[in-house]
Amino acid sequence: MKFDEIQLRLLEEVADLHGVPEGAYNIRSDSEAVGRRSTEHIVITSKKDVSGIDIEIMPGTKNESVHIPVVMTKSGLKETVYNDFYVGEGADVLIVAGCGIDNCGTGDSEHDGVHRFFLKKGAKVRYVEKHYGSGTGKGKRILNPVTEAYLEEGAEMTMEMVQIKGVDDTERTTVAKLAAGAKLVVRERLMTHDDQRALSRYDVILDGEGASADVVSRSVARGTSFQKFDAKITGNAPSYGHTECDSIIMDQGKILAVPGLQANHIDASLLHEAAIGKIAGDQLIKLMTLGLTEQEAEEQIINGFLR
């Protein structure tokens, strides 16, 4: 499998890959599967009815990873892809997804990935998803990911979702349903610039006793960009839910944070925190007393914040 320079750069940005990854993988480039490997414990097959793949992870699979990066380098492509992950009982795996779009043309490029995760009892998944756009064309780079997670008893899922640069328009939808003792941790990092738009919506339902969710988004809106963070947690059982939206606005950026908590059980404990503001003046001055210029100080603060 040979990659050109743009493909390699996108793969590095979205999946830290410098070529073919270890373990199981499926690499999709310009709407075609360009490489795939299943392993003894992780089997990847193409879907028959729609575009996409099924990933089956056998029960008890430990310390293995699946990489499923997507790169788009042709202008004007639009695709919707369905990927379903079936994670067996007691498995503990790392799943790295991500999409990089390089659009130098005039047509909009759009990748809408629908990822569904079915975690059996006690399964553990760390899911890392990076989105990145580049290219100087007038065509937009559009990503509309839908992530659904269904966690059985005692299953745990950590999602790290990052979109730092170059995506013009995004609507992210994340839906999760947790059974007893299941645990969901979400860490979202988002930066928008120029006239970009990003909507991020979460709908987490805590259905079983002892289920817990911790959804934390840190974001920066620069230029004239707009972001909306809409996080809802519903507690239907004795459970714990926390959402946090912590945002920095710069230039003429705009952010709307919409907290949503619904407790349907007397022992559901739900908490929402939201803070939006510009970089604190004392933070800039502090770093300037250490010798940084105002601009350097700003960069350090933002880099740390989005780490």
Partner 1 sequence: MLELKNVCFSVPGEDGKKKEIIRDISLTLEDGKLAVITGPNGGGKSTLARLIMGIEKPTSGKIFYNGEDITDLSVTDRAKKGVSFAFQQPVKFKGLKVLDLLRIASGKRLAVGDACRYLSAVGLCARDYIDRELNASLSGGELKRIEIAQILSRATKLSIFDEPEAGIDLWSFNNLIKVFEDMRRDIEDGSIIIISHQERILNVADEIIVISGGKVERKGSKEEILPSLLGSASVLNFCTGASGKEDV
Q: Contact residues for partner 1 (CB under 8 A)?
A: 218, 246, 280, 282-283, 285-294, 300-301, 303-307
2 or 307: CB nearest partner 1:
307
Cβ at position 219, least distance to partner 1 in Å: 12
- The candidate with the shortest Cα–Cα distance to 221, out of 197, 185, 257, is 197
Nearer to partner 1, 56 or 246 (CB): 246
| C-beta of 134 vs 217, nearer to partner 1 | 217
Dihedrals phi, psi of 203, to nearest 5 degrees: -135, 100
> Distance (Å, rounded) from C-alpha 204 to C-alpha 218?
18
Residue partners of 87: CB distance under 8 A and separation at least 6 = 57, 93, 117, 118, 119, 120, 123, 125, 155
Which residue, 147 or 227, has its beta carbon nearer to partner 1? 227
Indicate the pairing of strand 156-165 with strand 124-134: parallel
> Do residues 28 and 69 make contact, with C-beta atoms less than 8 angstroms apart?
yes
| 32 versus 282: smaller Cβ distance to partner 1 | 282
Closest distance to partner 1 from the beta carbon of 52 (Å): 35
Nearer to partner 1, 150 or 305 (CB): 305
Residue with smaller CB distance to partner 1, 266 or 290: 290
| Interatomic CA distance for residues 147 and 132, integer angstroms | 17
CB of 270 to partner 1, least distance (A): 22
Min dist. Cβ of residue 304 to partner 1 (A): 3
Buried b (16+ CB within 10 A) or exposed e, 22-48: ebbbbbbbeeeeeebbbbebbebeeee
- Return d(Cα 142, Cα 124) in angstroms, integer: 30
Contact (CB, 8 A) for 230 and 203: no
CB of 123 to partner 1, least distance (A): 29
Least distance from partner 1 to the Cβ atom of residue 128, Å:
18
Residue 283's contacts (CB-CB under 8 Å, 6 or more residues apart) are 297, 301
CA dihedral sign, ordered 74, 14, 126, 182: negative
Where does residue 58 rank: exposed (0-12), middle (13-18), buried (19+ CB within 10 A)?
Answer: middle
Min dist CB 83 to partner 1, Å, is: 31
- Cβ-based nearer residue to partner 1, 20 or 275: 275
Q: How far, in Å, CA of 91 to CA of 40, rounded?
A: 14
> Least Å distance between CB 204 and partner 1?
23
